[in-house]
Every structure is written in structure tokens, then in C-alpha cells.
Structure 1
Amino acid sequence: MRTNLITPEGLEALTTELDYLWREYRPEITGKVAWAASLGDRSENADYKENKRLLRSIDSRIRFLRKRIEAVKVVEYSPVQEGKVFFGAWVEVESEHSEVKVFRIVGPDEIYQRKDYISIDAPMARALIKKEVDDEAIVKTPEGEKSWFINKISYQPLVGEK
């Protein structure tokens, strides 16, 4: 099950995508479908078939985005969060083998365009919630339990991040 939490930036990205699809991309493809249909025989018309398929895909995404935007709960930053890992935090962790990872804990809708974001539903995020700097988090993985230590927590991007 997906968590219905999202950062303000994540909601803005979904809203921007919906606006683009509805106001720009869909009308463009609808125009192409109408043009291809005007050529006559649709059974042999690759332009018509491909753009009609694309239009169905766009409509499906628009329906998904509208439902998702209604369902999500925006989580704003609160000063009470400082010093502990909560939703929206940038975290730097280090393994017992000195492997360092830096990421932000966000909603599941936000992770697809960024390699430095992880879902609140991920085992790593779940293990880190409410922990503080220098705390150890035990993460259950398919290979077994792994230990990570928290080096930094911030609600602004850490140095070197966007």
C-alpha cells in the first residue's frame, strides 16, 4: 500500500504535470488524431493508430493524477522536526563498511525523477524515522539486517545537493 503523503514540491510537480498534459500535450495529440482521421481509411493509418494509443495513455495519466492529487496529504516542514528524521528530511547515513548515502525521505509519487529521493515506504526510511544524529538504524533487507549510522539530518538540501 502506498502512503498518501507528499511534500509541497511533490504536489507542485504533480500539478504541473497534470496542467501540461491537459492544456498542452493532449490538445496537440488530439489535433494529430483529427488530422490523421481526416485522411480516410483508419485501418491502415499508422499515424492515426499511434496517436490514438498515445491519447489513451495521456487520458489514463490525467485520470490517475486527478485522483492522486485529491488523495495526497501535503506534509509541511515544522520546526518541531529539527534534530530528528521525519518525512521530508535530507539524511546522510553511513554503513559499518563506510559506505555513505545521502537522500531525502519523500512520498512514493516523488521518487521517480530523482536518484537522491527514497519513499517513506522504503525499509531504510522506516528504520530511520524518529532517529537522531549518531543513532544506529537497523534496516531489514533481502540479504539480512544491515546497520546504518546517521551522520546528518537537515530539512534543507545537504551540501552538494540540489
Structure 2
Amino acid sequence: MPPDQPNYITPAGYAVLRAEYDQLLGEERPRIVDVVSWAAGNGDRSENGDYIYGRKRLREIDRRLGWLSRRMKAAKVIDPAAQIDRSRVFFGATVTVVDDADRERTVTLVGDDEADAGAGLVGWSAPLARALRGAGVGDTRRVTLPGGVCDYEILSIRYPD
């Protein structure tokens, strides 16, 4: 995501990031620090698997904590239930579309950190989400996907209550 773009996220998505951050910082990191301290006290560190693995795992945890911290700091939490204009596709909308081959597909536009295509959660900056933004029921939008160009007609738009 470009640095000038806000990191939109739903309240549930933000809670997931926060829970992972708290778990890593409050539980896993202190446990690994204890293991590394114990292993360091055992003498030769060059062949000490607990020490080597522990240091490696600490670096991974610290990298992930830094990433989570940056994402949460840049996050702009948007509650889709508070959307006033429910006749158009905006952040958090659940949209049912039909493609050229009459295949229906239902997707929910969420933050990029929450995206999971298999679960129907499409990231806000994905090509499909960009094409659907601002569309109303009955509108047709052309999307350029890796598999080629596809036209989607919007059948319904829903927001959580």
C-alpha cells in the first residue's frame, strides 16, 4: 500500500491486529527471552540450539511487532454499520455481483490487512474493490484481473446493522 494512502480497516480487523500484537508482546516474547537467557547461561553459544533458535525467533517477533505497530498507527478504523449512503458501494459493503458468464459472487470490501479472497473478503485496494467503489445496484463495472477483463453487474449492496 502506498504511504500516502490511509490504511482503512474495520473495527473487527483492528481488534485482530491488536490481539496479535498483545499476544506477541505480552506472552510469546517474554517466554522466548527467558529461554534465551537460560540458554545463554549454559556456556558455549555457538552450538546451543535453544540459544540460536531463540535469538532467531526474537528477531522474527520484533520484526512482526514493528510491522503490526506501523499498521495500527496508520490505521483509520471505519465502522461499515455507520455508513449513511447505503445505496452505493463504499468501504465495508457486502456486494453481490454477476459476471459475464452469469456466475454470482458475493464479496465484502475490507481493509487490505483483513483481505481473504477465499472467505469473500476483498482488500480495499484490490482491482475488484477499486472498480466497485461508488457503484449502485444495476451498474456495470469493468475489472482488469490477472485472468483478463471481466464485466460485473451489481445485484445488491448490504451493510451491517
TM over 0.5: yes
Residue identity opposite 1:63 in structure 2: G
SS of the residue aligned with 2:96? strand
Which consecutive residues of structure 2, in runs of 5 or more, have no partner in the other structure?
Answer: none
Q: Does 1:82 align with 2:86?
A: yes
Instruction: Indicate the percent of aligned positions where both proteins have the same amino acid.
Output: 39
* Structure 1 segment 17-32 matched on structure 2, within 5 A: 17-32=20-35
Q: CA deviation at 1:41?
A: 0.8
Q: CA deviation at 1:79?
A: 3.9
Which of 37, 43, 46 aligns to 1:34? It is 37
Q: CA deviation at 1:114?
A: 6.2
CA RMSD, aligned part only?
Answer: 1.9
Q: CA deviation at 1:100?
A: 2.1
Which of 50, 57, 60 aligns to 1:57? It is 60
Partner deviation per Cα, 1:107-135 (whole Å, 9 max, x = no partner): 11111596321111111001101111222
Give the number of equivalent residue pairs: 157
Runs of 4+ in 1 over 6 A off after TM superposition: none
Residue identity opposite 2:64 in structure 1: R
Question: What's the counterpart of residue 13 of structure 2?
Answer: 10
Which consecutive residues of structure 1, in runs of 5 or more, have no partner in the other structure?
Answer: 158-162
TM-score, with length taken from structure 1: 0.88
Partner deviation per Cα, 1:48-76 (whole Å, 9 max, x = no partner): 11111011110111111112211111112
Partner deviation per Cα, 1:119-152 (whole Å, 9 max, x = no partner): 1111100110111122211102244421011122
Question: What's the counterpart of residue 122 of structure 2?
Answer: 118
TM-score, with length taken from structure 2: 0.88
Q: Distance in 2 between matches of 1:112 and 1:140?
A: 19
Query: Given that residues 116 and 122 in structure 2 are in contact (C-alpha distance below 8 angstroms), is that contact kept between their aligned partners in structure 1?
Result: no
Question: What's the counterpart of residue 97 of structure 2?
Answer: 93
Query: Given that residues 45 and 52 in structure 2 are in contact (C-alpha distance below 8 angstroms), is that contact kept between their aligned partners in structure 1?
Result: yes
Residue identity opposite 2:154 in structure 1: I
SS of the residue aligned with 2:22? helix
Q: Distance in 1 between matches of 2:63 and 2:69?
A: 10
Query: Given that residues 10 and 110 in structure 2 are in contact (C-alpha distance below 8 angstroms), is that contact kept between their aligned partners in structure 1?
Result: yes
